[in-house]
Amino acid sequence: MTTHLKKRPRLENLSVNHLDELPDDLVISILRKLSSSASSPADFLNILVTCKRLNRLGLHPLVLSRVGTQTLAVTAEKWSVSSHRFLKLCVNAGNVDACYTLGMIRFYCLKNPVSGASLMARAAIKSHAQALYSLSVIQFNGSGGNKSDKNLRAGVALCARSAYLGHVDALRELGHCLQDGYGVSRDVAEGRRLLIQANARELAGYLSLKPGTDLNGGCLPVQEIHPVNRFLKDWFDSGRVVLAEELRMCSHGGCGRPETRSHEFRRCSVCGKVNYCSRGCQALDWRAKHKMECAPLDLWVPAAIEVGDVDAVDVENHAPR
Ligand SMILES: [Zn+2]
Ligand SMILES: [Zn+2]
């Protein structure tokens, strides 16, 4: 029996670069898809440095307008003039998530609140739920200004729009505002309804997780943390920029927002040891860890004295202010 080996394909065309044969619009369309689905900035930037043509077409506004959240997720460690420029190019191409990302970085990290808030507003106008929520946090706290710059009604309006678009923290914040009559007419029943809805959404998020997902001790926040929150946290944690001594970070690990003036954030009313930029962060951190740590101050002092271990509690430092 004769064995017929398959003929190997002829290799005479190896020197031809097939990329050159593709028309620009087709390459742009492929790059658009790639830039929106890449899992890290490096995945996309490596394509840009491949050759002059890919660099030119990769920086086309049609591509930059579609660059996805993970492709924009520059880390604080790798922040540079070039990454700032890349974000600006994406902003100019009309990329909404780039507007939000650069807006947050300018507002909190680069100490440029006017430009930061204006970029976030550009994203908010295009119904970017995180931008709407972040602007509401800024309005509730009067961030970037004085205490008198707090605008509770504007905070509620932004929060309501973000909640309508599905932002769970915004929904929870709005529920608390209605319950307390904070920036809006008090409506306890409606507030309660929204809080139940927020919990239900969170539960639905847990149930939709794949089996085997690491739940971090049952404390995994269901809403995915936006990469810019990680950027903010790393920016200040790394010591690259030292926060003024009187300013504190939001105690929720997934937030990264710093105070822009002293005593801007709300403090846990029970222990007084932690600070939050919003009720959303407070609720998430409570479930993640603070419920295990929080104890009223006045319970600690007598207990320590009873066992004769006064030095165990620094009474002066823990006194309520
Ligand atoms: Zn926060
Ligand atoms: Zn507490």
Question: Where do the domains of the chain lie?
Answer: 21-97, 127-201, 228-294
Alpha helix ranges (H) inside 81-224: 81-92, 96-104, 113-125, 129-141, 152-164, 168-180, 188-207
What ligand has the least distance to the C-alpha of 232?
1
Please give the Cα distance from 151 to 283 (Å, whole number).
Answer: 22
Distance of CA 156 to the CA centre of its chain: 20
> Mean per-residue pLDDT for 162-190?
94
What ligand has the least distance to the C-alpha of 268?
2
Q: Please give the structure tokens belonging to residue 89.
A: 């190019």
What ligand has the least distance to the C-alpha of 249?
1
Q: Which residue has the higher pLDDT, 284 or 94?
A: 94
Q: How far is the CA of 278 from the centre of ligand 1 (A)?
A: 6
Q: What percent of the chain has pLDDT over 90?
A: 55
pLDDT of residue 212: 60
CATH value of 127-201 in 1.25.40.10, 3.50.40.10, 3.10.580.10, 1.10.3720.10: 1.25.40.10
> Mean per-residue pLDDT for 122-151?
96
Residue type, 137: V
Which pLDDT band holds residue 311 (cuts at 50, 70, 90)?
A: very low
pLDDT of residue 7: 55
What size, in residues, is the chain?
A: 321
Residue 10 has pLDDT above 60, yes or no: no
> Mean per-residue pLDDT for 12-41?
81
Sequence-ordered list of residues with C-beta below 8 angstroms from that of 265, at least 6 positions apart, any chain: 141, 248, 250, 259, 275, 276, 277
What ligand has the least distance to the C-alpha of 251?
1
Q: Which residue has the higher pLDDT, 240 or 1?
A: 240
Residue 268 has pLDDT above 70, yes or no: yes
Residue 24 has pLDDT above 70, yes or no: yes
Q: How far is the CA of 48 from the centre of ligand 2 (A)?
A: 49
Mind listing the pLDDT tens digit for each residue in 42-95? Answer: 888 888 888 888 888 888 899 999 999 999 999 999 999 999 999 999 999 999
pLDDT of residue 8: 53
Q: What percent of the chain has pLDDT over 70?
A: 82
**In whole numbers, what is the pLDDT of the chain averaged over residues?**
84
Q: In terms of Cα–Cα distance, which of 138, 131, 160, 117 is closest to 250?
A: 138
pLDDT of residue 236: 92
Residue 286 has pLDDT above 50, yes or no: yes
Q: How far is the CA of 250 from the centre of ligand 1 (A)?
A: 5
